[in-house]
Amino acid sequence: MSALVSRAAAAAARRHWGARDGLSGFRGSHSRIAESPTRCLVENDARGAFCFRRSVSTSGTHMHFTSGDDDESCARERPGDKGLPIVYHPAYSKPVLPEGHRFPMPVFREIYKRLIRDGVAVPGRNLYQPARMPSMEELLLAHDREYVDRFRHGALDEKATRKIGLPWSEALVERTLAEVAGTILAADLALAAGLAVSCAGGTHHAHRDHGSGYCIFNDLAIAAKRVVARKAVDRVLIVDLDVHQGDGTARILEHDDSVFTLSVHCAENFPVAKAISDRDVALPRGTGDEVYLKTVEAALRETMQDFKPNLVLYDAGVDVHEADALGGLRLTDEGLIRREALVLDVCVGGGVPVAAFVGGGYDDNMEELVRRHCILHHVAREIYESNKM
């Protein structure tokens, strides 16, 4: 592990975990949390200069692309000038699921609240909310029109809905579109600032013509194809470290040479029938910190050297944790800290922008689950500040 990784991991633990064992819980104030972030990104096909302009709405400052012409009403700022860009949308946790449902829908809102309590996310400074939902053209980069239309209009049959695992509702449609929008925004912010992190994302089980495993539209595949189609980059690497293989992502992108899919996952876990990623590393159940981290580092460094991506989309699922209800691997809290520091150091330290997403995680203890997910954001801030981005 490099000196930067060690410093970032140690700093994250020292600054944000409890004093008793260095890993028991984040410190931070418990002030009241506002429910809506205060920056929105509006996109324009012009030259893409950034500025901030005070809005007449009560939502605060809105971020948008301008044509690049002089505008005395705008004080130009680069995304990231006021801290690590973090993306959130209130619709991420909008659907209300039946009591006892396995999917932790409230977790995204709770991640957002905790990041504000911990001072990692600051409304009006480094929080960004997508100002629009994805267009049909963007959705069709990765999905069939018939599937998109059927889901949006609540016309999926019982078998297709059961395969997704979430009951259809208008709120679920809004949440699904908002999650894709947030991933698109995080990718754009990463290209502008070098590093950005979302409070959701990583719907890697969504296939071209159907959803699966709580995933409906594949945000990673859509965002990757979009940045290439817009000629923002030539090559995108998707690093999927969720405990489950990203089968939908692999199948959608199997014939796309501009996107490389790397999946390090538990061999004996969902999905039973695995897809073929560009690079798969299947680990046996019970794999712990040291073997896992050495395996990830070797696979990542070799892939970065061979593929030479211009952008990395990182699915940082915490279901690799030893306490996860649907996992199978045995990472500790310290292992998660070291993993995030390792991935971000290898990529960002190598000059490649990273957009990171929370991925999967399952625990009846919501506080513990949120804490695990927030490790990503805390370590990302340390890496961001260490690199003086």
Is 34 contained in some domain? no
Q: Can you give the pTM of this predicted structure?
A: 0.85
CA separation for the pair 149, 147 (Å, rounded): 5
Is 32 contained in some domain? no
- State how many domains the chain has: 1
pLDDT score, position 272: 84
Cα-Cα-Cα-Cα dihedral of 194, 303, 358, 149, to 10°?
100
Is 60 contained in some domain? no
Is 23 contained in some domain? no
Is 277 contained in some domain? yes
Q: Are 313 and 238 in contact (CB under 8 A)?
A: yes
Is 12 contained in some domain? no
User: Could you tell me which residue, 127 or 31, shows the higher pLDDT?
Assistant: 127
Q: Are 333 and 13 in contact (CB under 8 A)?
A: no
| Average pLDDT of every residue of the chain | 85
The least confident of 32-36, 286-290, 360-364 is: 32-36
Domain ranges, residue 324? 1-7+79-387
pLDDT score, position 234: 98
Is 22 contained in some domain? no
pLDDT score, position 154: 98
Residue 20's φ and ψ, nearest 5 degrees, are -60, -50
What is the CATH classification number for the domain harbouring 332? 3.40.800.20
Is 52 contained in some domain? no
Most confident region among 21-25, 43-47, 224-228 by mean pLDDT: 224-228
CA separation for the pair 135, 3 (Å, rounded): 43
Segment 122-142 mean pLDDT: 97
pLDDT score, position 114: 98
pLDDT score, position 12: 59
Segment 132-157 mean pLDDT: 98
Segment 133-144 mean pLDDT: 98
pLDDT score, position 69: 41
Segment 137-157 mean pLDDT: 98
User: Could you tell me which residue, 246 or 68, shows the higher pLDDT?
Assistant: 246
Ordered strands of the 279-283 beta sheet: 49-54, 61-66, 40-42, 127-130, 86-87, 195-198, 354-357, 311-315, 236-240, 259-266, 279-283
User: Could you tell me which residue, 93 or 44, shows the higher pLDDT?
Assistant: 93
The least confident of 3-7, 94-98, 262-266, 378-382 is: 3-7
Q: Are 263 and 251 in contact (CB under 8 A)?
A: no
Q: Are 369 and 361 in contact (CB under 8 A)?
A: yes
CA separation for the pair 339, 345 (Å, rounded): 10
* pLDDT, tens digit, 9 for 90 and up, residues 295-307: 999 999 999 999 9
Segment 360-371 mean pLDDT: 95
* pLDDT, tens digit, 9 for 90 and up, residues 322-342: 998 888 999 999 999 999 999
Burial class (CB in 10 A: 0-12, 13-18, 19+), 233: middle
